[in-house]
Structures are given as structure tokens and as C-alpha cells.
């Protein structure tokens, strides 16, 4: 084993500069995020000149009624859409990974991936066209439906990956011990699958929370979500309270991705 690692290191030395370049790449990935976080604590009115530490912009953000409303909308929609998408995706993952194959299975998987493949703006336009044709104006309902659809593949992928990783012999053992199909599912499959389901749920949740393009097309007056609200602020110019709100949203996303990652790493 040690010799193998030794050889691997020899490989890196073969390409000098790649390490330094990769370091710069990580810097490039995180520099804008760090600058944003730092300036959200800036005391100054100007968004890009540091004058001292302050929590004023967070206070201003929390005091903003319209902002709180938008955040509430975003949370409501993300919770409903991610729960619905995860339920649908769990069934779909079970259907495509357990039990017998059926005609059109590959096509079905293709359909499930479709929201991931199509350009976001096209999905937004199509959803708007549907609601406008049907004259459907459900307020939050419109957004929840739209978010549920594009969250399905994000929930499906980690659940499917977990199912494919799972050892079939446990389920077979349960069947050998005369557990019925439903009992096997409830007592063996579901508990083993749970980390995948939670991981998928969290990814669907942040994807919904962060979505801008589709929400912008579908939302109506009164159902403004947080990204739409931020976009409106940006149109009026860069102000430090945007930095504070943005930092909070980034914090939530990073927290959920990290939790999802740790769950995925959890051994069976």
C-alpha cells in the first residue's frame, strides 16, 4: 500500500505547477464568496470599502418586512416542493432499481432526468405557458408545482445511488425468513435507504430555495421568493444589506450540502 502511494506522489511530481494551479483554482472558487461574507460585516455604507466590523446590515435585513415575507415564501415552497419531489423520486428509484424491469424503463429514467437536461429558461417558459393556458392561478401552488418537477432528478440521483450500493442479500435474507414484501420493505429496505432519502431531500430543498430563473417566470404578485427579491434589489444597485441576506442564504446552502455529504459518506 505504501509503495502505491509513493508512486502516486511520483505522479504529481511529474507535472510541476499543477499543484500551484489547483491552489489558485480553489482560490478562484472561494474568493468571491469570501469577499461577499466579509463585506456583509462592513460598517460602511459603501459595499466594497472596509471600514470596520458591524452587524448593522444583518439587523437591517431582519427588520425588512418585504424581505421576511420573501424568505417565508421561499421556505414554504422549498419545504412543500422538496417533500413532494422526494416522495415521487423515492418511488421512482425503487421502481427503476428493485423489482423486475419493465418495457420503457430507460425511457422513464430519461423522462425523470429531463428537468436536469433542458435549459432552465425553457422549463420556465413552458411552465408559464401551461399555467397561462389553463388560467391556473394558485398563488403558492403554481410555484410549488414548478419547483417539485425540477427537484425530482436532484432527489432521484442520491436515492438511486444508495439503492444501487445496497447489498441485496439483506432483503433476500428477510424474504427467506418469511417476511412479506411490505414487511421487508419497511423493516429492511427503508431504514437502509433512509440516508439516501434524507440526502436527496436536502439537495432538493436547496435547489428549490436557490432557484431563480424558473421562479421568476412563474411567480405572481405576492409570491415573491428570496432570489427574486434579491434580484430586484440588485437592479436598484448594490447595497450592503444584500450582502447580509446573501451571506445568510449561502450559509444555509453550505450547511445543507455538508450534511448531505456527511450522510452520503455514512457507512451502511
| Using rule CB under 8 A, residue 230 touches another protein | yes
- Using only the alpha carbons of the chain, give its radius of gyration: 23
Taking CB under 8 A as the criterion, the residue among 95, 139, 180, 232 binding another protein is 95
| Using rule CB under 8 A, residue 105 touches another protein | yes
What is the per-residue binding string for another protein in 115-134, x denoting contact by CB under 8 A?
x-xxxxxxxxxxxxxx-xx-
In the bound complex, what is the minimum distance in angstroms from residue 77's beta carbon to another protein?
Answer: 15
Closest by Cα among 93, 83, 255, 84 to 158: 93
- Using CB under 8 A, which of the segments 59-67, 102-110, 171-179, 187-195 binds another protein? 102-110
In the bound complex, what is the minimum distance in angstroms from residue 170's beta carbon to another protein?
Answer: 18
| Using rule CB under 8 A, residue 35 touches another protein | yes
| Using rule CB under 8 A, residue 238 touches another protein | yes
| Using rule CB under 8 A, residue 172 touches another protein | no
| Using rule CB under 8 A, residue 99 touches another protein | yes
- Residue 80 has a CB neighbour count (10 Å cut-off) of 18
Encode 220-252 in three state secondary structure: CCCCCCHHHHHHHHHHHCCCHHHHHHHHHHHHH
Taking CB under 8 A as the criterion, the residue among 59, 232, 261, 266 binding another protein is 261
- Residue 253 has a CB neighbour count (10 Å cut-off) of 15
| Using rule CB under 8 A, residue 75 touches another protein | no
Taking CB under 8 A as the criterion, the residue among 27, 43, 45, 46 binding another protein is 46
How far is 121 from 103, CA to CA, in rounded Å?
32
Closest by Cα among 197, 201, 217 to 209: 201
What is the per-residue binding string for another protein in 1-20, x denoting contact by CB under 8 A?
---xx-xxxxxx-xxxxxx-
| Using rule CB under 8 A, residue 205 touches another protein | no
Taking CB under 8 A as the criterion, the residue among 102, 169, 178, 221 binding another protein is 102
| Using rule CB under 8 A, residue 62 touches another protein | no
| Using rule CB under 8 A, residue 33 touches another protein | yes
**What 3-state DSSP class applies to 121?**
helix
How far is 225 from 249, CA to CA, in rounded Å?
12
| Using rule CB under 8 A, residue 213 touches another protein | yes
How far is 27 from 33, CA to CA, in rounded Å?
10
In the bound complex, what is the minimum distance in angstroms from residue 135's beta carbon to another protein?
Answer: 11
In the bound complex, what is the minimum distance in angstroms from residue 117's beta carbon to another protein?
Answer: 6
| Using rule CB under 8 A, residue 47 touches another protein | yes
DSSP symbol at 213 = H
Q: How far is CA 74 from CA 10, 68, 80, in A?
A: 50, 10, 10
DSSP symbol at 267 = -
Amino acid at each position: 500500500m505504501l509503495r502505491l502511494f509513493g508512486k502516486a506522489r511520483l505522479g504529481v511530481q511529474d507535472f510541476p505547477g499543477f499543484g500551484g494551479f489547483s491552489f489558485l483554482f480553489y482560490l478562484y472558487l472561494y474568493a468571491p464568496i469570501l469577499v461577499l461574507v466579509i463585506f456583509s460585516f462592513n460598517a460602511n455604507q459603501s459595499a466594497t470599502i472596509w471600514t470596520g466590523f458591524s452587524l448593522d446590515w444583518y439587523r437591517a435585513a431582519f427588520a425588512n418586512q418585504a424581505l421576511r415575507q420573501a424568505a417565508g415564501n421561499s421556505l414554504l415552497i422549498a419545504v412543500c416542493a422538496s417533500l413532494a419531489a422526494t416522495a415521487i423520486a423515492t418511488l421512482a428509484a425503487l421502481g427503476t432499481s428493485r423489482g423486475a424491469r419493465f418495457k420503457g424503463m430507460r425511457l422513464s429514467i430519461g423522462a425523470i432526468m429531463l428537468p436536469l437536461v433542458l435549459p432552465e429558461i425553457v422549463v420556465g417558459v413552458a411552465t408559464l405557458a401551461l399555467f397561462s393556458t389553463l388560467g391556473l392561478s394558485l398563488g403558492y401552488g403554481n410555484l410549488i408545482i414548478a419547483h417539485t418537477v425540477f427537484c425530482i432528478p436532484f432527489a432521484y440521483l442520491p436515492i438511486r445511488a444508495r439503492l444501487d450500493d445496497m447489498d441485496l442479500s439483506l432483503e433476500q435474507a428477510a424474504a427467506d425468513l418469511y417476511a412479506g414484501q411490505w414487511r421487508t420493505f419497511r423493516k429492511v429496505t427503508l431504514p437502509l435507504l433512509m440516508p439516501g432519502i434524507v440526502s436527496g431531500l436536502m439537495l432538493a430543498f436547496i435547489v428549490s430555495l436557490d432557484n431563480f430563473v424558473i421562479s421568476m417566470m412563474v411567480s405572481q404578485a405576492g409570491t415573491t421568493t428570496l432570489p427574486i427579491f434579491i434580484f430586484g434589489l440588485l437592479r436598484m444597485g448594490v447595497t450592503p444589506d444584500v450582502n447580509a441576506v446573501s451571506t445568510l442564504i449561502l450559509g444555509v446552502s453550505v450547511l445543507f450540502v455538508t450534511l448531505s455529504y456527511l450522510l452520503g459518506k455514512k457507512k451502511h
